[in-house]
């Protein structure tokens, strides 16, 4: 650079440059820790409907892959499914937080999840310079599902009764073959939580549950569940930064963890018992939440370990 160029460079920019360099230096040990490791990220909630948040997420995923990690994205799409069902005049109901899925509904679920949403996310990642491929659990028999069995305790009789959710499935077996090939080719798999049963029936699988099954089968280093809340909260609505499996079960028993957070925690426990090192529940609406969690000392949610 010429002397005149150096004289005209605004000095005010230098501190920002130094700060950015310091951030990269601090991120280095985190990058080394996750080098060549598989990280499964469940992406869903209302953050999916925000274009700026979606672009931030896509940037994070591309940066992870460029930094030597092997990201696997699993996405949901409940609000988008609901809007499409309304447009088509198909009535839908929920029982115990899960959408009851009949033949007409499962067709819409597959169309929205494995079609429009899946390819939209692939497009966002591609726009940021990544190479992604959209798949669902049916591809290559990746995920075989069975009909989900749910029971609820009757408050009056205290007798458990079965809840019929229709074509809602839960993973029964995960075949790694396709995912191993995709990751070896340095592609980013983007997975829709639609699976097939042994009878060929299509099942709608909860995205958290699907992500937990994938993470367990892949022995992922981390499973990140991006949600609409900061993480697991105590009874005073304060974030709990870290939990063990024992802590989780105690907090469910004493009523601290309730409602929709219970199935998320159950997914976390399952993944940990299958060999995932740690699971994080974090707010997907926070800009670059994935990078904050993986590449900084601060974290961005609730970290859950086996003990």
Annotated binding site for substrate: 77-78, 99, 204
Residue ranges for the binding site?
Answer: 77-78, 99, 204
**Separation between Cα atoms, residue 274 and residue 110, nearest integer Å:** 28
Output the DSSP codes for 71-86.
EEEEE--HHHHHHHHH
Sequence-ordered strand ranges (E) for the chain:
38-43, 70-75, 94-95, 98-99, 132-136, 143-147, 150-153, 160-163, 168-174, 188-192, 194-196, 202-205, 222-227, 242-244, 278-283, 301-305
Please give the span between the terminal C-alpha atoms of the chain, in angstroms, as a whole number: 55
Q: Which two tokens stand for residue 266?
A: 């159950």
Whole-angstrom distance, CA of residue 237 vs CA of residue 231: 10
Distance of CA 168 to the CA centre of its chain: 19
């Amino acid at each position: 650079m010429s002397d005149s160029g150096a004289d005209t460079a605004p000095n005010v920019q230098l501190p920002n440059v130094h700060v950015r360099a310091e951030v990269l230096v601090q991120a280095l040990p985190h990058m080394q820790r996750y080098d060549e490791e598989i990280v499964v990220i469940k992406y869903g909630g209302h953050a999916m409907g925000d274009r700026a948040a979606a672009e931030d997420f896509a940037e994070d995923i591309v940066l992870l892959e460029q930094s030597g990690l092997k990201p696997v994205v699993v996405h949901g799409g409940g609000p988008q499914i609901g809007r499409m069902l309304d447009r088509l005049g198909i009535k839908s109901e929920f029982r115990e937080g899960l959408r009851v899925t009949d033949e007409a509904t499962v067709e819409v679920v597959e169309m929205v999840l494995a079609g429009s949403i899946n390819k939209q996310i692939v497009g966002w990642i591609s726009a940021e310079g990544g190479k992604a491929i959209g798949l669902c659990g049916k591809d290559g028999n990746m995920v075989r599902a069975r009909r989900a069995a749910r029971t609820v305790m009757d408050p009056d009789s205290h007798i458990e009764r079965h809840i019929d959710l229709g074509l809602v499935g839960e993973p029964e077996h995960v075949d790694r073959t396709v995912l191993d090939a995709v990751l070896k080719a340095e592609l980013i798999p983007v997975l829709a939580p639609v699976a097939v049963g042994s009878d060929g029936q299509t099942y709608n699988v909860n995205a958290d549950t699907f992500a937990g099954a994938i993470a367990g089968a892949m022995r992922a280093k981390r499973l990140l569940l991006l949600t609409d809340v900061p993480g697991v909260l105590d009874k005073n609505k304060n974030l709990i930064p870290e939990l063990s499996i024992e802590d989780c079960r105690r907090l469910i028993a004493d009523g601290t963890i309730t409602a929709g957070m219970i199935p998320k925690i159950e997914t976390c426990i399952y993944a940990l018992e299958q060999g995932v090192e740690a699971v994080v529940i974090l707010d997907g609406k926070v800009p670059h939440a994935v990078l904050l969690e993986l590449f900084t000392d601060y974290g961005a949610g609730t970290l859950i370990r086996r003990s």
